[in-house]
Amino acid sequence: MLKVGITGGIGSGKTTICKVFETLGIPVFYADAVAKQLMITDLILVEGVKEAFGAASYSSNGVLNNQHIANIVFNNKVELEKLNSLVHPAVFRAFDTWEKEMSSAVPYTLKEAALLFESGSYKMCDKNILVTAPLNVKLARVMERDGVTAAQVQARMDKQFTDEQKAKMADYFIDNTEKSSVILQVLDLHQQFLQL
Ligand code: ATP
């Protein structure tokens, strides 16, 4: 089955766009949400995290100590890469299982991931979409959605590839500056994917 990856910078609106694809009956794998879940439920991952970051990563009843891990990986590239090298393969495994469980009646699946290109997981997809919006629009959306400052959004953006870097790896683009043109762009891509 055709696998389509979809990503975009923070606040670009990739989740919002995925909801539009869902209304067309396309199943979406939300990799970031799945990753959070796997941090608690995937035994290989849990063991790996404990080994890498210590037993304090979880409480005695298995609750993830997010703060402990955040303190270690915050502004520490080596430790962040260590965490990613544990999480990303777990998400790849979960995606593989999820995708195989999909009915053959589904024409294609979508994998939504903030770090689709950075993690290399775009290579597991047949085609990849980049959702774009101007920087000031993305900043304003995230400030409003999360109640954070522009500097806090910028710090999160700095951890991701720029749109210019991502554009080199993308096959398709959705411009999500305005709500009004989104539906038509999604329908157009949907038709193209049905024909692939
Ligand atoms: P993140 O990487 O932080 O998860 P995202 O790319 O998934 O962000 P969304 O959560 O879909 O982005 O959108 C960010 C915010 O912008 C949300 O509050 C959403 O409702 C709003 N938004 C998305 N698209 C539009 C649009 N075209 N017009 C106005 N608001 C939008």
Ligand 1 centre and the CA of 131: distance in Å? 10
159 pLDDT band (50/70/90 cuts)?
confident
Whether the CB of 132 sits within 6 Å of ligand 1? no
> Is 13 near ligand 1, meaning CB less than 6 Å away?
yes
Among 78, 101, 124, residue at a domain's last position: 101
User: Do 160 and 66 share a structural domain?
Assistant: no
Q: Please give the structure tokens belonging to residue 94.
A: 């979960």
Average pLDDT of the residues in 76-93: 94
Tell me which of 101, 125, 155 is where a domain ends: 101
- Clarify whether residues 82 and 115 are in a common domain: no
Q: Does any ligand 1 atom lie closer than 6 A to the CB of residue 65?
A: no
Give the residues across from 2 on adjacent strands: 108
Residue that is last in its domain, among 83, 101, 119: 101
Q: Mark 146-161 as b/e (b = at least 16 C-beta within 10 Å).
A: eeeeeeebeeebeebb
If asked whether residues 131 and 84 sit together in one domain, one would say no
Residue 41 belongs to domain with CATH number: 3.40.50.300
Please say if the pLDDT value at position 122 is more than 90: yes
Percent over 90 (pLDDT), the chain: 92
Supply 129's token pair: 């979409």
pLDDT band at 75 (very low <50, low <70, confident <90, very high): confident
pLDDT tens digits, one per residue of 167-180: 999 999 999 999 99
pTM here is: 0.94
Residues 122, 166, single domain; the answer is yes
**Domain identity same for 114 and 89:** no
